[in-house]
Structure 1
Amino acid sequence: MTAQPSESRTGSTAPSGVESRIDTSRPHPARVYDWLLGGKDNYPVDQAVAEKLPPESRLNAMRNRAFMRRAAAWLAGRGVDQYLDIGTGIPTAPNLHQIVQDIVPSARIAYVDNDPIVLRHAEALLVSSPEGATDYIEADVREPEVILDHARTFLDFGRPLALSMIALMHFISDAEDPYRLTRTLVDALPSGSYLVFSHGTTDEHPHLVRSVTSTYRKGEIPLRMRTRAEVEPFFQGLELVSPGLVTATHWFKETPAPEPEPSGFHVGVARVP
């Protein structure tokens, strides 16, 4: 998909024809995730998939979202004021820009997703603070160069920024080379930047492997859960910050530690040397 530039740097404006491009005949990962988080921007086909997932899936989605909030707040607290969020999904408050702009009001956030329904909500829900700015790029992570070309018109790649890839790469098959796609994006980041990353896993829920994968497969949504050892290469060449590569409920910094419950996501924040 090609990038669709917004009409406003303080709030992306959905172009005409978005509604006609929303496919309600097939489920979409972003809309399934929206249902798991308690959202209402999904359709019967998405609900049909989500409702067949084990109850633990809903808890894991919430634990993953909580990790994103903690990581974003920590980075903003360190002065990071530029963010490239790929795989944005349906806006769910607080959104990334709300978290970081509460700490750094002048922060700039570029959101990226390939689902037209996200674009439909961008104007209303992804509006920046007056001091900062948000942008929306309609593109697919499988085309990293398209994302980077647009992002460079909005973010300053001459100084550090944070690349956020939350709950995204488990929808990329081995044949599509998720490590290469991630590396292409990371290699474009200047020194001092950060990668914020989470990836679905059944390491702590081995009994759910069959039911989760078969449910997504029946919905024609590709899903490739990966073990901790398979997630480690996404951070190759980067400096993982403490506590390293852990499950979602074990990642925390200055904020109070969450309950160390089992999690369906491996997560980490790493610095570009």
Structure 2
Amino acid sequence: MPSMTPEQARRSRRDMLQATVDAVAVCTGTDPEAFFRADGEQYIVWQARRADAVRVCAGCPARAACEELALRDGDGRPDVDDMVRGGLTGPDLAATRDQQSDRLTAAVAADRDTEGRRLDDLTAQLQRAAVKNPDKTGGHRGASRAQAAQNEQVRYLADQIRSIRTARRGPRRMEDRSMTGDHTPLPVNEEIGPRRPGAIYQNVDGRFEVLALITDPGEAARLLRRDGARWAVIVRDTLRPDGQPFAVGSVWTTSDYLIRPARTAFAPAA
């Protein structure tokens, strides 16, 4: 896959951007922490590592795709120098996101609509793969290898289609349990899901960065103004440059998906 220009990246949907990064990024196999400032790391040490990371990105054919993903993910803050993505530091990303906020809002909205198109594309690929005649050159052994490769492609496409269809039609777990008369509360960790400080996730309401996880029931009830609350997550909407932190207590469901996992060990707030 050839390199992607900035203009191509801005016009591309998220799956194509990610495919480009996966295919040609020069940092593949590198420890991701090389692009993030460690907790407590001296600034002069980070400054040198940051310069190395920027140099790696400068010659990368996936740089534009990686930068666009970072902008859509809401990475980077104007007052925190702790990362490099797509050759840009956290403050650089925040400044660029502010300059292109309208375009990025539209791009994120369009990304949310790609699931149906992805399903159609996979279905078409599966139909073509299923009826394709395997290459019979190379004798019996060559034909057998070609048939095995075709079977593997069909299985892969079928698994992808099944995964998307399950997510699209699957009811929320809490609703499903209610319909069956099971009102036993889920374990707290299952309700919270992968939302830990530093994680970014998305649903129909927006894209959110987790700032803190509250596991003290009393504090959670106060923040959510809801008796019986067992936990709360403090988040900010990364699609809103001026978004203020707020508490949420909704259960993690199939309509939520993780964009970036937490980078540090989980330490619940009181």
Which category describes the TM-score, using the shorter chain as reference length?
under 0.3
Normalised TM-score (structure 1): 0.23
> Who wins on radius of gyration, i.e. which is larger?
2
Instruction: Tell which has more relative contact order, 1 or 2 (C-alpha 8 A, sep 6+).
Output: 1
